[in-house]
Chains A and B, each alone.
Chain A
């Protein structure tokens, strides 16, 4: 799942990232953040995500901010991830910071 690049790590999230395997995904992302200064998360394979996954990503952002590290998405959320963000109410009043993180946009 992970590929070390010195101080940066890229994580490929598997196709299914939901409550059933959230513990594994959490462990992998946390391990990467502990190890690296910057973590890039690749969601391009994701086709089955749920709220637990979005929450875990948000939690990673909280951790990164408090630890002086960075976490970002390889590409803007689309497909099921974008759809799940909409359903979960992440986009109705999105802040510029969140828009930059999730959608790679300055404004909505």
Chain B
């Protein structure tokens, strides 16, 4: 058992803090005075600085300190946050990530530039003037504060001296450290904190500002805040009884138990979520931490591999048991089969992560795109609790970036154009996710101008992608935008228009064994749906034999199995079509495709597979049956073999290749198109 590298642990925590900072900043853009978000950003910056310094990330700590200071002023109401400040801190946040990931790289030039930007943004705040005064005048109160921090506060990156400094910032302060709990040296855990403090501070600030000093540790610490001398304060209520003013020590203490300060809000006007995600996002982080265990992703992958091996071994056991008359062996085999199936299902659930982790990053993208294009964009996310295999999530990120960029650049109009078209100034981009029959469907929808069919068609004709005047459905025309190098953009922008990107989307989705559907209506917008299998690790497969080799067809793609009679086979020679309920379905003889050199079985089978509305038949010699298929990647040497998407190990230890359904359907459709052209 190895202990986690503390630096790696910090990096993981820093990544979460950076995400929290980014979310807070983006939420703030919708309400620049949202105190919860201001606190969340400040808290994140403060913790990142403290933890960074503790783990030796000095450049990070020094850089973050400046952003923290700026947000501290916002938090204290000295200045009001502006879009400019938020944009600078967002950029600074990206730089902080670089400082975390590559602490030894050269960062000075970027740090200097960003700090200059930050300085300018803060100067602008100063010129704009302070935030409206909350109180009518400086009424000072003497507060007595007793507090003790959690024992592990220092080890967790909290700097008690920083808290004391903040109390001093509130006004004249007398601080006494209580050392009575410090044990003798031989009983001391040196990173633990045994000191508590008694503080008296005279300030015009309200009690909430004192509580704000302890905002990060409030939930775990002990604190008493007592107003000792309220005589200096002009109470809105009738004047206090004279004896209270005369004898402050006897004044009724205003002692309040600490209350949870971390209340993340989900009320972000422009990022709506109709699912329960928003509610769960509002849960205090501590609660989540208490209910979950952090496991490195590679350990999950390792466990998945083991489960895969177990499934293969179980498959072998089933074969052996099948050939053996021993009833007890068969019973054990069935038990193992059931248990390994349950284990596999449990494992699948462990690998699932909510799509919110994917959608979250698009808020920043949309924010940046809005600034770049001058368009007003409202990002709406739906179904963020939908869970998808973590590998799928990782691989979907790039395609979605391309699609969102495309929606913003090509789809949404400028505010002026939208007004002229009678639309709201803010264009909508809706990202949604849902599960349906073993698939996750991710949709990117906008209410922009829609895809111009005629331009797509004209471009495809001029590029030779389609024959002039070829009869194509809308879906077929829209699918052309995924061809390599295809772009109808008249100008190339930083965002899109180079024709690179949409083909990447197609390739990635194909690789995920997914499909893309496009819908578009002129003037109303476009909708692109990505249908992706829920998992990539283990699939239900149909094991078939072609010649001497065995192959797996993903069961989710199988529509039906038919027998190809000798007569039909002979009749279809040269045509390779079968008639299926009054429609012609092209088929591919896998024996020919794989050059098996064997004679066909007298009773061949056709496995009809489909991707969406497109179907193709695969002629095989024998259908062996269903098979739990643990997908193994092809070696680099075989990576370019398009007909296969992977391999699996069968119960007898032999290897079966997994057929790439998308590729085969496309090949079948191409065959059909050629037949049509040939007449």
Contact = CB atoms under 8 A, between A and B. Distances in A.
A associates with B: yes
Contact of B191 (A22, A58, A90): A22
Interface residues of A, number: 29
B185 A26 contact: yes
B190 A88 contact: no
A19 B184 contact: no
A60 B165 CA distance: 26
A52 B160 CA distance: 10
Contacts of A51: 154, 159-161, 193, 195
Contact of B185 (A23, A63, A84, A87): A63
A29 interface: yes
Contacts of A62: 182-185
Interface string A50-79: 111001101110110011000000000000
A30 interface: yes
B165 A55 contact: no
A46 to B, nearest CB: 15
A50 B186 CA distance: 20
A20 B164 contact: no
A33 interface: yes
Contacts of A93: 174, 176
Contacts of B179: 55, 58
A92 interface: yes
Contact of B154 (A19, A26, A63, A87): A19
B177 A89 contact: yes
B184 A88 contact: no
B353 interface: no
Contact of A87 (B165, B174, B182): B165
Contacts of A55: 179, 182, 188, 190, 193-195
Range of interface residues on B (Cβ < 8 Å): 20 to 34
A66 B174 contact: no
A56 B182 CA distance: 9
B362 interface: no
A87 B164 contact: yes
Contacts of B260: none
Contact of B54 (A20, A25, A30, A88): A20
Nearest to B165: A87
Contacts of A89: 164, 175-177, 197, 199
B56 interface: yes
Contacts of B562: none
A40 to B, nearest CB: 15
A29 B188 CA distance: 12
Interface in B188-220: 188, 190-191, 193-195, 197, 199
Contacts of A25: 190
A22 B174 CA distance: 28
Interface in A5-56: 19-20, 22-23, 25-26, 29-30, 33-34, 50-52, 55-56
14 contacts: A19-B155, A19-B191, A51-B154, A51-B160, A51-B193, A56-B188, A58-B182, A59-B188, A59-B190, A60-B185, A62-B184, A63-B186, A89-B175, A92-B176
Interface of A: 19-20, 22-23, 25-26, 29-30, 33-34, 50-52, 55-56, 58-60, 62-63, 66-67, 84, 87-90, 92-93
Interface of B: 54-56, 154-155, 159-161, 164-165, 174-177, 179, 182-186, 188, 190-191, 193-195, 197, 199
Given A56-B188, A87-B165, A89-B164, 15 more contacts: A20-B54, A22-B191, A23-B191, A26-B188, A30-B186, A51-B154, A52-B154, A56-B185, A58-B179, A59-B183, A59-B188, A63-B186, A88-B161, A89-B175, A93-B174
